[in-house]
A and B are shown apart, each in its own frame.
Chain A
């Protein structure tokens, strides 16, 4: 692996995830998150070189609504800016790339979305092609259930297993004050909730929630000045798969597997279980188990700890869900995780995704030490 530039996460702020904020628009939620992240780093807006935002206008019901976010991000004098119709975790990747190219040393990465103002399942239908899939009304919950059924048929994983994975996330999530669901619930109880789309039960799916998030990245030289304990990027890779559901083996995530292999190699690691914890952007337990298989993690193991934050089951603010995983890695590895701190954690695997049934995956490896010297 060629020597790359050491880049670190130096700040992260999010608003607690809520079902609906009736007092603020998406960009009004974003402003305090950006301010908090900058304050953490002790810098002003002018000290940041580059900015990039993730959101989707369909979710907010405001065509070209993403432009409004410029005003909440401190975009004057005119900034170098980019917007992705993707989760903020992919925005972090483009900021990192830009730093590798030497074009900037610091970047503001934000994600926002007023998920409660629209209806996410209807919006997810529009991600499909308009000839064969979208007219059938398929939405992301239904396609996830197709994936779950294939995975369970191939592996013999049971409803009970799904409940156990969900219960583990709920247990971890109880100590995260930013979560929407903050109570531990037993596997029995979750397994008794009704099917929404069988084999996925209400207890296996996150509620609609919203927030705004801001992460700050900085390259070596600047990072140490912005943060007492920068969290360094050791590796990152992302892979996209086909859109057509029936042309993929939904029970496996070829993209997550390949992305993690490349990210681990960049980090100088052989296996995913060499990290201390993993934050996975899986929005239901079957998807989490598909991911675990692809990454080589044990969904019932004790180390690496899986989703110490509680994962997306406890808070799934679309467009921010992935960026929160990266933010959580920062909080854990920089000693800011409070009660839910993973003891002795030095390295983390972070996963983000986009699309139906893990269509696009991104995997990061982060650590407390610099990767390249």
Chain B
């Protein structure tokens, strides 16, 4: 018999693959995350030419040169890009309800940082001033999620 002549009911299988990883941070990412956790402080690094990169790698994002000093930046800044996720994907996106990804240029930084806006996600737009909402003391784990989200910065 020829394979071409056989009518085959498809055979399928659903299966989940899980890969647990423990990524080494190194001295730059590791200290940046420690700053979030222990100091509630966002740190950048100065690169050749004077620009401040946030969040920092162990090298210049622009020309590959070594970074020099650590520079503290504000936890408040200006939104440069907004993507409102109206249909979150389960177990990929951090929330079940709509939210926004934003790129924020923090005051004192020359690059933008990726994060989310939850409470104000419909009102955040390019040019909006936003501020970090910090995880409570004792709850911060040394992760990018030590900042819970960004909200519109209202005059205090």
Q: Do chains A and B touch in the complex (CB under 8 A)?
A: yes
A132 proximity list for chain B (CB < 8 A): 29, 55, 113-114, 144
Taken residue by residue from 144 to 179, chain A's Cβ proximity to chain B (1 for < 8 Å, 0 otherwise) reads as 011111100100000000000000000000000000
A22 proximity list for chain B (CB < 8 A): 10, 12
Taken residue by residue from 53 to 79, chain B's Cβ proximity to chain A (1 for < 8 Å, 0 otherwise) reads as 111010001100000000000000000
Q: State how many angstroms separate the Cβ of B100 from the closest Cβ of chain A.
A: 8
Which of A22, A130, A244: most chain B Cβ within 10 A? A244
Q: Is the CB of B94 within 8 A of A121?
A: no
Smallest Cβ-Cβ distance to A124: which chain B residue: B92
Q: Give complex CA distance A139, B54 in Å.
A: 20
Q: Is the CB of A244 within 8 A of B101?
A: no
Taken residue by residue from 191 to 203, chain A's Cβ proximity to chain B (1 for < 8 Å, 0 otherwise) reads as 0001111111000
Q: Is the CB of B101 within 8 A of A61?
A: no
Q: State how many angstroms separate the Cβ of B119 from the closest Cβ of chain A.
A: 16
Smallest Cβ-Cβ distance to B47: which chain A residue: A247
Q: Give complex CA distance A132, B145 in Å.
A: 9
B103 proximity list for chain A (CB < 8 A): 146, 150, 245-246, 250
A198 proximity list for chain B (CB < 8 A): 82-84, 86
Q: Give complex CA distance A161, B98 in Å.
A: 25
Q: Is the CB of A197 within 8 A of B86?
A: yes
- A61-B17, A136-B116 as given contacts; A147 in contact with B81, CB under 8 Å: yes
Q: State how many angstroms separate the Cβ of A147 from the closest Cβ of chain B.
A: 7
Q: Is the CB of B145 within 8 A of A135?
A: yes
Smallest Cβ-Cβ distance to A153: which chain B residue: B126
B41 proximity list for chain A (CB < 8 A): none
Q: Is the CB of A246 within 8 A of B145?
A: no
Q: State how many angstroms separate the Cβ of B20 from the closest Cβ of chain A.
A: 12
- A121-B89, A135-B143 as given contacts; A145 in contact with B83, CB under 8 Å: yes
- A131-B25, A149-B82, A242-B61 as given contacts; A247 in contact with B101, CB under 8 Å: no
B102 proximity list for chain A (CB < 8 A): 146
Q: Is the CB of A245 within 8 A of B94?
A: no
Interface assignment of A125: CB less than 8 Å from any CB of chain B: yes
Q: Which of B57, B81, B89, B105 contacts A244 (CB 8 A)?
A: B57
Q: Give complex CA distance A121, B89 in Å.
A: 9
Which of A136, A149, A245: most chain B Cβ within 10 A? A149
Q: Which of A23, A137, A194, A245 contacts B92 (CB 8 A)?
A: A137
Q: Give complex CA distance A236, B141 in Å.
A: 47
Q: State how many angstroms separate the Cβ of A90 from the closest Cβ of chain B.
A: 22
Q: Is the CB of B114 within 8 A of A133?
A: yes
Interface assignment of A35: CB less than 8 Å from any CB of chain B: no
Near A by CB (< 8 A), chain B positions 107-156 give 111-116, 126-127, 143-145
Interface of chain A, main secondary structure: mixed
Q: Give complex CA distance A199, B144 in Å.
A: 25
B144 proximity list for chain A (CB < 8 A): 131-132, 135-136
A242 proximity list for chain B (CB < 8 A): 61-62
Interface assignment of A108: CB less than 8 Å from any CB of chain B: no
Q: Give complex CA distance A197, B126 in Å.
A: 15
Interface assignment of A122: CB less than 8 Å from any CB of chain B: yes
Smallest Cβ-Cβ distance to B109: which chain A residue: A246
B113 proximity list for chain A (CB < 8 A): 132, 246
Smallest Cβ-Cβ distance to A251: which chain B residue: B81
Q: Give complex CA distance A195, B100 in Å.
A: 12
Interface assignment of A40: CB less than 8 Å from any CB of chain B: no
B86 proximity list for chain A (CB < 8 A): 194-198
Interface assignment of A72: CB less than 8 Å from any CB of chain B: no
Q: Give complex CA distance A22, B144 in Å.
A: 40
Smallest Cβ-Cβ distance to B86: which chain A residue: A195
Q: State how many angstroms separate the Cβ of A72 from the closest Cβ of chain B.
A: 15
Q: Is the CB of A197 within 8 A of B92?
A: no
Q: Give complex CA distance A195, B105 in Å.
A: 25
Interface assignment of B48: CB less than 8 Å from any CB of chain A: no
List residues of chain B with CB under 8 Å of any chain A CB.
8, 10, 12, 15, 17, 21, 23, 25, 29, 33, 53-55, 57, 61-62, 80-87, 89, 92-94, 101-103, 105, 111-116, 126-127, 143-145
List residues of chain A with CB under 8 Å of any chain B CB.
22-23, 61, 119, 121-122, 125, 130-133, 135-139, 142-143, 145-150, 153, 194-200, 242, 244-247, 250
Other A-B pairs, 13, CB within 8 Å; known A147-B81, A245-B103: A132-B55, A132-B113, A135-B145, A136-B94, A136-B101, A145-B85, A194-B86, A195-B84, A197-B86, A197-B87, A242-B61, A247-B53, A247-B61
Q: Show 18 residue pairs from A and B whose CB-CB distance is below 8 angstroms, ordered by the A residue.
A: A22-B10, A23-B10, A122-B89, A131-B23, A135-B143, A135-B144, A136-B115, A137-B93, A149-B81, A149-B126, A194-B87, A197-B101, A198-B82, A198-B84, A199-B83, A245-B103, A246-B103, A246-B114
* Chain A to chain B: the 8 pairs with minimum beta-carbon distance, closest first: A246-B112, A145-B83, A22-B10, A247-B61, A198-B84, A146-B81, A137-B93, A247-B111
